[in-house]
Chain A
Amino acid sequence: MSATRRVAVVAGGLSSFGVRSATWSELVQEAGHAAFGNIRNFSSKDVDSLFVGAAQPERLAFQSHVAPLAAELLGFEPWKILQRTELACASGQSAIRSAYAAISAGLSDVAAVVGVEKMNLPSMAEANTSMANVLDRAWDGVHGATAPPFFAMCAQRHMLEYGTTAEQMAMVSEKNHRFANTNPSAQFYSKQFSRDKLLKLPMVAPPLRLGDCSSMTDGAAGVLLVAEELARKYTDTPVWIRGTGQHSSFHNLSGAGSLSTWPGLKAAAQEAFRSAKLAPQDLDLAEVHDCFTISEIIEYEEIGFCAKGEGGTFVQEGQSDLGGKVVVNPRGGLLGCGHPLGATGVAQAVEVFQQLQGSAPPARQVPGAELALVHNLSGSANVHSLMIYGREN
């Protein structure tokens, strides 16, 4: 069944990402200023719905019931749908998908979306503790399962089965950090990481080194989604949601399967392409969830940019760089920008919005970009969420 109304992104913006001297609430205000501060013909009263992507405010900011708090901070008084979405690392995209569903179903006309996470705390051990409850806390987290050892095992199996190398993983990090050097909002905007330097950084969870891992980051981002008939009220260059897909395969790690293949991503990508009536080779760029370097390599394969097992070669040949088959993570990815859980999916949407408008910084603008994909995984790659955006509807 197709959506009843088309949905456009008409504005987007984000806070600076990094180890920020700012609270959860202050980050929301920064994103509100950047995303909703300068929209043509826009009034706060237009916003009938607000979706807040936030993964762990109860833990990391000791605050629940955050949707009305965000509404107050942003000056919105939603009267149709107000909700917070939690899907760990995909909480931000989950908020966008919810807004998309509401507008396409006719339950909302103008929906604001904010994604936010405050992760750097005076007690980082408590933040690390919270990260371990994303997995099955009582049965996997209790043994010390956090993201790094899980994705390290994926890397171990992928290296064993397909010959992927540490150098190829470092190439992902090198590319994304180089893109982050074009992005003043990125956590590592001013930090240079050569491949040689990356391969000498300390191990976090072998075979993953520090440069293979995204960071604990503070940040927030926002986008404004509207029904098709309102799109050109707010901008001359709306960007359109063309399709979406999602798949949840397991939660306890006993269901993780081979680790080197992610069939849930393959299924979610197929649904996204089916709903958009597009194929992987149609895309000009993709913002994919490079929480770890090995993630981006497996994502090339499962999304369909290359054959299974050839992800390492794909990055080595420059196929995911400017001038390659598809430009992957031009804003700098999670590796270069940092990964504030709730903000990441929205920040990726902001990048795609600017890329498809042709308004990204020249150093990373994909020439003539018309179609883009956003992918988030969450938890132990047990859930995959994708959206496809286009310049034309």
Chain B
Amino acid sequence: MVATSEAGIGGTDPRAAPTSKPRAEALATDKPPRRNDPVPQPLPFLLDFYPQEDPKFTRIAAFFDGLRKGWLTTTKCDADGTLSWPPRVACPTCRGEKLTWVELPRRGKLYAFSAVLGGAPLGMEQDVPFVVGLIDLEGSPLRIFSRIANVRYEDCCIGMEVVLETFDLPDGRIFYRFRPPA
């Protein structure tokens, strides 16, 4: 596990996340691009793909607080160093609950990719065709899946560089995806 920023965001206990403040000095101040690209109509709750981010419904609200600051974060176990994706409230290696928020790299390279050309789920139909891929985060052991925005399938290649961007949902939630650098 190299080059993962050890900045603690929201302390060690995800349950304390909504009220705790990040250690901003350890984090970059520039923000990734942010776009407003709303889903056209609200879907019934049980057809809505986006995670609940209100602390009333989740213990990892700090992840979404981080996104609002332009940070992609996750949890790392204080006891055994396990870096999880997605964020957890208990370590999947030791089941311990002492976790620290860490920032992840905002850049990565495509390990594999494809495109959705049809048969998209509700709320994504207007995006078709779109590219998705597995991204090796720069200097991190994590390989995560994401939408790859602002690019055609034909213009992608394995090893292509991508960067983080966040986007707003119409109901005030926020989420992330990747895209080629500007």
Contacts and interface: CB of A to CB of B under 8 A. Distances in A.
Interface stretch (A83-91, A252-260, A302-310, A357-365): A252-260
A203 B117 contact: yes
Contacts, number: 106
Interface string B128-163: 001011100000001111110000010000100000
A138 B50 contact: yes
Interface in A125-140: 125-126, 128-129, 131-132, 136-140
Interface in A270-286: none
A227 to B, nearest CB: 39
B127 interface: yes
B144 A205 contact: no
Nearest to B145: A253
Contact of A137 (B49, B112, B143, B177): B49
Contacts of B144: 253-254
A49 interface: no
A177 B5 CA distance: 52
B116 A125 contact: no
B51 A138 contact: yes
B125 A145 contact: no
A126 B127 CA distance: 16
A323 B134 CA distance: 40
B127 A144 contact: yes
B117 A204 contact: yes
Interface string B109-130: 0001111111111111101001
Interface residues of A, number: 39
Contact of B49 (A124, A126, A142): A142
A204 B120 contact: no
B105 to A, nearest CB: 14
Given A129-B121, A149-B114, A204-B119, A140 B158 contact: no
A244 interface: no
Interface centre among A125, A138, A149, A256 (most CB of B within 10 A): A149
A143 B116 CA distance: 11
Nearest to A141: B49
Interface string A226-242: 00000000000000000
A204 B118 contact: yes
A101 interface: no
Contact of B117 (A156, A205, A256): A205
B47 interface: yes
Given A160-B158, A253-B144, A128 B175 contact: no
B143 A125 contact: no
Given A153-B114, A160-B158, A253-B145, A142 B51 contact: yes
Given A125-B125, A138-B51, A142-B175, A153 B134 contact: yes
A247 interface: no
A206 B114 contact: yes
Given A143-B132, A156-B113, 20 more contacts: A126-B47, A126-B122, A129-B122, A129-B123, A131-B121, A132-B121, A138-B86, A140-B145, A143-B145, A143-B146, A149-B114, A150-B114, A153-B134, A204-B117, A205-B114, A206-B114, A252-B85, A253-B145, A256-B134, A256-B143
Interface of A: 124-126, 128-129, 131-132, 136-146, 148-150, 152-154, 156-157, 160, 202-208, 252-254, 256, 259
9 closest A-B pairs by beta carbon, nearest first, are A152-B114, A153-B112, A129-B121, A142-B49, A138-B51, A253-B145, A149-B114, A143-B147, A254-B85
